[in-house]
Amino acid sequence: MDRIRQVEPPQLFVGGDGPRDGDPKDDLNCEQARRVATHVDWDCEVHTLFRDENLGCKQAVSSAITWFFEHVESGVILEDDCVPHPTFFPYCAELLDRYRNDKRVMTVSGNNFQPSDKVYSHSYYFSAYMHCWGWATWKRAWKHYDGEIPAWDSLRDTNWLQEWLSGKAEELYWTDIFDRVAQEKVDSWAYPWTFSCWREHGLHVLPAVNLVSNIGFDERSSHTKDPEADAAEMPVEAMSFPLNHPDVMVRDYEADRYTSRHHFLPRGYRVRRHVPDAIERPARNMLRWLRP
């Protein structure tokens, strides 16, 4: 909120999930969080969507974003544990305007998980991977979100995933993820959003410097519980202006390979038991090759 206060947006939309059953601290924590998130001391319209019951990460977040885009055509999305650098906001504003009508671009992210010594030719690059720890998008993109991913049933046994991924291990991993999403076994909106973007052949803008730090790595988190994780509380840097825009819209395949191997594929990943042994063994060999 201190970062948001620095840029004084004219409109603020605050969504909050309800307290979980059986957790006596949740009532107080929800009340405190809502009070902080709506404490506005500048000229601003504050809109709220506060749930009485707990919907969980998938439904609470995705429904709040849908509600957001019932009121605006584009905007910035920050979850409670994502702290942006002040330059994140003008970076998003400029790129939201630049790619407003370009359906090839689905999101603008503030995250950079590349090696610190990577050299960039421009202020940002294009990726197949969407990072959601501080991002921005348009109503025209979010309309494609479908949390149930019904199209997966017809795409699963085709070569569709090979368009996006650099190896069999990644293909098996994302097949497993999308299987679990379709079977409603994972409480995540980000996985079906990734699927929805890939289905539209969409790309994502990622910055040449990391603009957002996730400070939510602890035991209270739903998914990011390890405070020693590489992505925990990553330092942020200022984006330089004016932005140096790429001359052509080409996906950075080298960066995406690094992202896949170091950010998405977990160490020691093994294909789940429902995958035949004949596939599981080469996948393990592939994963050994992928690790640094």
List of residues 6+ apart from 91 with CB closer than 8 A:
108, 110, 123, 207, 211, 239, 243
- Give the end-to-end CA distance of the chain in Å, rounded to a whole number: 38
Q: What is the pLDDT along the chain (292 residues), one digit of tens a residue?
A: 999 999 999 999 999 999 998 888 889 999 999 999 999 999 999 999 999 999 999 999 999 999 999 999 999 999 989 999 999 999 999 999 999 999 999 999 999 999 989 999 999 999 999 999 999 999 999 999 999 999 999 999 999 998 888 788 889 999 999 999 999 999 999 999 999 999 999 999 999 999 999 886 556 655 555 555 565 668 999 999 999 999 999 999 999 999 988 888 766 554 443 333 333 333 333 333 333 3
CA distance 69 to 100: 14
Nearest to 150 by CA among 183, 187, 176, 124: 183
Evaluated on CA atoms 155, 253, 139, 69, the torsion sign reads positive
Q: Residue 128: helix, strand or coil by DSSP?
A: coil
Which tokens go with 117? Answer: 């010594």
- 21 contacts 57 by C-beta, under 8 angstroms: no
